[in-house]
Amino acid sequence: QVQLVQSGAEVKKPGASVKVSCKASGYPFTSYDINWVRQAPGQGLEWMGWISSYYGNTNYPQKFQGRVTMTTDTSTSTAYMELRSLRSDDTAVYYCARASRYSGNLDWGQGTLVTVSS
Amino acid sequence: DIQMTQSPSTLSASVGDRVTITCRASQSISSWLAWYQQKPGKAPKLLIYDASRLQSGVPSRFSGSGSGTEFTLTISGLQPDDFAAYYCQQYNSYPWTFGQGTKVEI
């Protein structure tokens, strides 16, 4: 069965960077894209960007451009999301999702809590 | 960016009720719309894609309809397991955007 297993919770200071991993299994990794979505405490879902697992090209919303980098390692079927210059309002649960251009976010990781606090 | 507006924000219902949630897009998204269910402390789960296609394994009491800018998610015969938050998302164009969510409570 499809599984997306994310790395563990992180606590970071303002200005630091965080890199979250997402290891996929149960499907051909390069046949689907990966989306990253975050959810601040008590808030809704926010799309952070997309990476093609096959080509490696990305698309980020303007809000995160210059601060986020998404990558994949096809040899280990793992996707990564790095967010830099962290602020307190970046405190959120970060999710990866297996995505299809034709059916949205099919399967989701369990989420990684990133807490930004001095 | 395409704005997605869901209504209502909160919905109070009882077991057995028929429940409808609406999602409006700020411009046409054809049928590129998905609905997700999220329970507290859990990741979202895909219910409906392509506006009306039921994801494998999702109970048939969930249904979706609409195209263009107006969409609905209907739960026919609300079950105790259905009390959760529901989100729509457009994937017609980047950035993919979510509605603000609808909480279905008892």
Q: A62: which DSSP letter? A: G
The mean per-residue pLDDT over the stretch B96-104 comes to: 98
pLDDT tens track for A11-27:
999 999 999 999 999 99
The mean per-residue pLDDT over the stretch A81-95 comes to: 98
A 10 A CB-CB count for A110 gives 14
Chain B residues closer than 8 Å to A37 by CB:
44, 98
Q: Does the distance separating the beta carbons of B91 and A101 come in below 8 Å?
A: yes
Cα–Cα distance measured from residue A73 to residue A23, given in angstroms and rounded to the nearest whole number: 9
pLDDT tens track for B52-88:
999 999 999 999 999 999 999 999 999 999 999 999 9
Q: What pLDDT was estimated at residue B72?
A: 98
pLDDT tens track for A91-109:
999 999 999 989 999 999 9
A 10 A CB-CB count for A14 gives 12
Cα–Cα distance measured from residue A57 to residue A71, given in angstroms and rounded to the nearest whole number: 9
Cα–Cα distance measured from residue A37 to residue A17, given in angstroms and rounded to the nearest whole number: 17
Cα–Cα distance measured from residue A53 to residue A104, given in angstroms and rounded to the nearest whole number: 15
| Among A3, A46, A68, A103, the residue to mutate for chain B (most B Cβ within 10 A) | A103
Which residue of A44, A62, A111 is in closest CB contact with B98? A44
Q: A89: which DSSP letter? A: G
Tokens of B25: 């897009």
The mean per-residue pLDDT over the stretch A49-72 comes to: 96
Q: Which amino acid is at A80?
A: Y
Q: Is B96 on the interface with A (CB under 8 A)?
A: yes
Give yes or no for residue A30 having a pLDDT over 90. yes
Give yes or no for residue B21 having a pLDDT over 90. yes
Q: Does the distance separating the beta carbons of B50 and A103 come in below 8 Å?
A: yes
Query: Which of B:22-41 have CB within 8 Å of A?
Result: 34, 36, 38
Q: Is B87 on the interface with A (CB under 8 A)?
A: yes
Give yes or no for residue B106 having a pLDDT over 90. no
Tell me what the pLDDT averaged over chain A comes to. 97
Element (DSSP H or E) covering residue B33? strand B33-38
Tokens of B26: 């700020």
Give yes or no for residue A73 having a pLDDT over 90. yes
* Vertex A102 angle, CA A46 and B67, to 5°: 80
Q: What pLDDT was estimated at residue A95?
A: 98
* Vertex A7 angle, CA A3 and A8, to 5°: 125
pLDDT tens track for B22-51:
999 999 999 999 999 999 999 999 999 999
